[in-house]
Amino acid sequence: MKSIVIVESPAKCKTIEKYLGKNYKVLASYGHIRDLPSKDGSVLPDKNFEMKYVVDARSKKYVKEISDAVKKADELILATDPDREGESISWHVYDELLKEKVITNKFPVKRVSFNSITKDAVNKAMAAPREIDMNLVNSQQARRALDYLVGFTLSPVLWRKLPGSRSAGRVQSVALRLVCEREKEIEAFKPVEYWTIQALFQTDMGEQFLSNLSQISGKRIDKLGIKNKAEAEQILNEILGQEFSVKEIEKKRLTRNPKPPFTTSTLQQEASRKLGFSAKKTMQIAQKLYEGVTIGGETAGLITYMRTDGVSIAPEAMDRTREAISKLFKGNYLPEKPRFYSSKAKNAQEAHEAIRPTDSMRTPDSVEKYLDSDQAKLYELIWKRLVASQMEAALLDQVAADIETNSKKYIFRSVGTTMVFDGFYKLYKEDVDDSDDEDAELKLPILTENQNLDLAKTEEKQNPEGEQHFTQPPPRYNEASLVKKLEELGIGRPSTYASILAVLIDREYVKLDKRRFIPETRGRLVTEFLSDYFTKYVEYDFTAELEEELDLISDGKLDWKKALKDFWGAFKENIDKAMELKITDVINTLDTSLENLFFGEHGTAEEKRKCPKCSDGKIGLRLGKFGAFIGCSNYPTCDYTRQILTNDNKPKESEEGGDAGADANAPNNHFETRVLGNDKRTGKEITLRKGPYGFYVQLGEQGKDKKDKPKRTSIPRGVKIDDVDLQKAETMLALPRNLGKHPADGLDVLAGVGRFGPYISHNKKFFSLKNISIFDVTLEDAVPLIVEKPEGARRGGFKKKTDTEKKEAPKKTTAKKSAKKK
């Protein structure tokens, strides 16, 4: 009997086929085979939310390959990924085969799912087949329909009422609101002055330690308790000349327990903090580790499925991890009993295991030579997190000493922490965003109550000393903290976080500066528009409630069509109402609500809005076809325009009239070569330059020999010149990227940038790469772009002319030459 097994990725096919044997043929769907076309009418609310799926052009050849194989088979086994998307892909494959009459309802069809690609996991899954879970499928359909309905009805409202906008999305708009609201908090923040007082004490044995003033007259000093220099100096004058003694000593034992193994979101957060990886990059690397690498002639998956919000691990994995701890660590690092965890995340499903190595005894050192640098780093992070999660707690001793003046009015406090037993800290310690390490060791000398102390003599500074501080604004989100916030609010799902963040950057709603999200003007305008006119739909609780409804559909507790109907009625009314808005009303609303962004905080409204060109006009928000800009009310008599204030409140001015001031990315025709730094590997200078074909980065200089050319790489489209720093340049100069082996012939597939833009190359042929970043494209994205070209074909698919064709071709005359002849 011949069985056809369907998986999502071609990278899994050979491995799984080898596990199953000669009676099985494994084929890839290459992800989703059907989707809703990007046009009106793909979801029909008036026809009970009928969804018009089509097989996209990319997938037609894969569907044909599957259909041809199934016609000759006795059985179809659907083994796509173990989540909603995977369940949906299985159903789409099955439904398409039914629709095309390749199979009937009576044809044997099984659904299997495995959490890791190992022989044991695959064989166990094959021994426990089930039916397609239509509750999961319908939950995915509901999510897709919601995203389509919001995107294809709300985006046109933005395009018409807020020119220059790109799109709106059910979840992306809420994530954008988080970034914009944080920026508003930062802009509204007013620093508050406060002072601290610190003393350096000394024992009779000459041991010195620092201590902070903590109480005055029996009352604790809060953070802003000492407001200014005058108050600090008054306290210092009173303290000077006093004697000091230890009033009280407190000792306590602290226990630090390990964190659970990774979920998707915690992996993305920690990879961002420790490795500097974006959420998207983390998921791409994790996908490859899941699909497996060849070790000792055998291919096996190194980690379990990477889209999960569960923190549990299988009993056999628990046993293997405890075995690894006992063999790798000498001492009391293995607890008596295993540790069990449960998720604290809002709306967590916990249907799958945590992300873990498929074999805890497969240490990072043992697989490093089979992985590239980034894969090795991520595998080590996942391995350490799992093993640490089953290790003993760390124990610390904390000693707090209160030191008082002889007047009893002032008390200083010192806190020392020493490690008693490092426990899991020996292997792994989680990073924390925007926070000091609370467990950093700080040792105090041995002190006793009533012990007298002296102020140490210091040459460079006063002792005790006052120090001025100012309160700090909340930090901007980075990828780690934004993913954490989305998860806390119950917005999105593990599989969506990376794409949400990527869309915000691709739409130019936000930018990353020093790995922090800063909203662009376009993003601020969109968020303000949605907050004013679609308030309910960008509320955090409403978006989280929708996620809860999708989970109820997954559990079979809510009908998916009812959920869509309940959403659509009110949303459609809101859309219809918004379409009646006058653009002038929208402009006036945004002009008022974002006044400080447009005109700064200082000065009266009249002063800020006075036209600098004609003096009697009033400047305000204007919307042109390229987006928003600031213009004069006396237009066209006065053609003053400027761009909206940047984040450092520096406007870029223009007097070209119309929308000229709105083009923030106009090319710089007088660009001077910019030195970015030195390459870490070669030590050569890296520069940013402009040539006849645009901007590029260059490694080193032209040698005396013309053949000794420096390496150059064009700046890919979508990358802003001002954002090109040393790190980005090094990444570009490392192009082309090797995406992996083509599943059909085993030849390398490369991604690079040439004179004509980004490309994919395979077997010495080149294919244009559009709509996907050169740094994000994967092997799965690239393979469908590789098509057979006729012999002698050039870039773009045009066949090279023969010498005969060249002779016969009519000569072209340019318009310039024709004009001269006349």
Distances (CA, A) of 635 to 38, 622, 630: 39, 11, 11
Phi-psi region of 323 (alpha: psi -120 to 50; beta: other; left: phi over 0): alpha
Q: DSSP letters along 741-781, please?
A: E-TTT--EEEEEEETTEEEEEETTEEEE--SS-TTT--HHH
At 795 the pLDDT is 36
What local confidence, expressed as pLDDT, does residue 645 receive? Answer: 55
Per-residue pLDDT at 814? 41
Confidence (pLDDT) at 649: 42
Asked whether the bond before 636 is cis by omega within 30 degrees of 0, the reply is: yes
Which bin fits 43, alpha (ψ -120 to 50), beta or left (φ > 0)? beta
654 pLDDT more than 50: no
Q: Which residue has the higher pLDDT, 772 or 143?
A: 143
763 and 796 both lie in a single domain: yes
Q: Are 573 and 620 in the same domain?
A: no
Q: Over the stretch 453-512, which tens digit does the pLDDT of each residue have?
A: 999 988 778 899 999 999 999 999 999 899 999 999 988 887 788 889 988 988 889 999
Residue 28 amino acid letter: A
SS3 140: helix
Q: What is the dihedral of CA 146, 150, 153, 159, to 10 degrees?
A: -160
CATH classification at residue 424: 2.70.20.10
Tens-digit pLDDT profile for residues 158-172: 888 887 787 888 999
Is 187 within 8 Å of 596 (Cβ atoms)? Answer: yes
How many whole angstroms separate alpha carbon 641 and alpha carbon 451? Answer: 72
CA 434 centroid distance within chain? 18
Specify the CATH number for the domain of residue 320.
1.10.290.10
Mean pLDDT computed over 767-796: 68
30-44, 207-221, 655-669: the lowest-pLDDT one: 655-669
Position with higher pLDDT, 746 vs 362: 362
Considering the domain architecture, whether residues 221 and 313 belong to the same structural domain is answered as no
More confident site: 59 or 623: 59
| Average pLDDT of the residues in 93-105 | 95
- What gap in Å lies between CA 110 and CA 125, rounded to an integer? 11
Whether this prediction's pTM lies above 0.85 is answered by no
Predicted pLDDT of residue 721: 76
pLDDT at residue 78 in the model: 98
| Residue 241 counted as domain residue | yes
Q: Would residue 147 count as lying in a domain?
A: no
The parent domain of residue 359 ranges over 276-389
Low-confidence winner among 47-51, 255-259, 612-616, 672-676 (lowest mean pLDDT): 672-676
Tell me whether residue 268 is in a domain. no
| Predicted local distance difference test score (pLDDT) of residue 757 | 79
Flag whether 146 is in a domain: no
Lowest-pLDDT range of 293-307, 365-379, 614-628: 614-628
Q: What is the 3-state secondary structure (H, E, C) of 522-553?
A: HHHHHHHHHHHHCHHHHCHHHHHHHHHHHHHH
Distance, CA of 299 to CA of 118 (rounded, Å): 9
On whether both 128 and 198 belong to a single domain, the answer is no
- The structural domain count of the chain equals 6
- Residue 509, in any domain of the structure: yes
Q: Are 212 and 321 members of one domain?
A: no
Range from 711-715, 723-727, 743-747, 814-818 carrying the lowest mean pLDDT: 814-818
| Same domain (yes/no): 402, 379 | no
pLDDT at site 377: 96
Continuous segment of H or E residues that includes residue 195: strand 193-202
d(Cα 356, Cα 316) in Å, to the nearest integer?
Answer: 12
According to DSSP, the residues that pair with 55 across neighbouring strands are 34
What mean pLDDT value characterizes the chain? Answer: 86
Whether the predicted pLDDT of 704 surpasses 60 = yes
Query: How far apart are alpha carbons 822 and 817 in whole angstroms?
Result: 9
Contact 205, 445 (CB under 8 A): yes
Q: Which of 12-26, 219-233, 694-708 has the lowest mean pLDDT?
A: 694-708
Whether residue 280 sits in one domain with residue 219: no
**At 665, is the pLDDT very low, low, confident or very high (cuts 50, 70, 90)?**
very low
Angle at 53 between CA 52 and CA 54, to 5 degrees: 120
Pairing of β 75-78 and β 109-111: parallel
Last residue of a domain, one of 662, 682, 707: 662
Residue 121 has pLDDT above 80, yes or no: yes
Q: Would you say 271 and 282 are in contact if contact means Cβ atoms under 8 Å apart?
A: yes
Residues 75-86 have a mean pLDDT of 94
The verdict on 183 and 222 lying in the same domain is: no
In terms of domains, do 645 and 754 share one? no
pLDDT of residue 674: 75
| CATH code assigned at 20 | 3.40.50.140
pLDDT the model gives residue 780: 75
- DSSP string of 655-676, one letter each residue: -S-TTGGG-TT---TTPPPEEE
**Among the ranges 259-268, 488-497, 604-613, which has the highest mean pLDDT value?**
259-268
**720 domain-assigned:** no
In sequence order, what E strands does 526-665 have?
A: 619-624, 627-632, 641-642, 653-654
Among 368, 389, 410, the domain-final residue is 389
**Cβ count within 10 A of residue 712:** 15
> What pLDDT is recorded for position 6?
97
What is the reported pLDDT for 346? 54
Q: When comparing pLDDT for 522 and 221, which is higher?
A: 221
Is residue 341 domain-resident?
Answer: yes
pLDDT confidence tier of residue 657, bands split at 50, 70 and 90: very low
Residue 789 has pLDDT above 60, yes or no: no
Angle at 251 between CA 466 and CA 432, to 5 degrees: 65
Among the residue ranges 324-333, 362-371, 498-507, 639-648, the one predicted with the least confidence is: 639-648
Same domain, 380 and 398: no
Q: Tell me which range, 93-97, 349-353, 427-431, 612-616, is most confidently predicted by mean pLDDT.
A: 93-97
Q: Are strands 394-405 and 410-421 parallel, antiparallel or unpaired?
A: antiparallel
User: Are 296 and 233 members of one domain?
Assistant: no
The full DSSP string for 23-88 is: TEEEEE--S-SEE--SSTTSEEGGGTSEE--EE-GGGHHHHHHHHHHHHT-SEEEE---SSHHHHH
**pLDDT tens digits, residue range 426-439?**
999 887 655 555 55
**Both structure tokens of 278:** 């974006």
Span 717-735, mean pLDDT?
79
* In a domain? residue 140: no
Residue 667 has pLDDT above 50, yes or no: no
Q: Which residues are catalytic?
A: 305
Contact 267/497 with Cβ under 8 angstroms?
Answer: no
Residue 797 pLDDT grade (very low, low, confident, very high; cuts 50, 70, 90)? very low
Residue with tokens 């018009």, as numbered in its chain: 52
- DSSP H/E element including 402: strand 394-405
Residue 602 has pLDDT above 90, yes or no: no
pLDDT of residue 818: 39
CB 406 within 8 A of CB 242: yes
Residues 6 or more apart in contact with residue 401 via CB below 8 angstroms? 211, 246, 248, 249, 250, 413, 414, 415, 416, 444, 447
Q: What angle do CA 578, 625, 531 make, to 5 degrees?
A: 35
**Same domain? 240 vs 281:** no
- Work out the end-to-end distance of the chain between its first and last CA atoms, rounded to an integer number of angstroms: 79
Which whole number is the average pLDDT over 212-229? 96
State residue 819's pLDDT score: 40
Q: Which residue has the higher pLDDT, 101 or 593?
A: 101
When pLDDT is averaged across residues 791-817 and rounded to a whole number, the result is 42
Task: Indicate if the pLDDT at residue 669 is higher than 70.
Answer: no
Query: What tokens were used for 373?
Result: 């640098």
Which residue, of 453, 470, 487, is where some domain finishes?
470
Report the CATH number at residue 486: 1.10.460.10
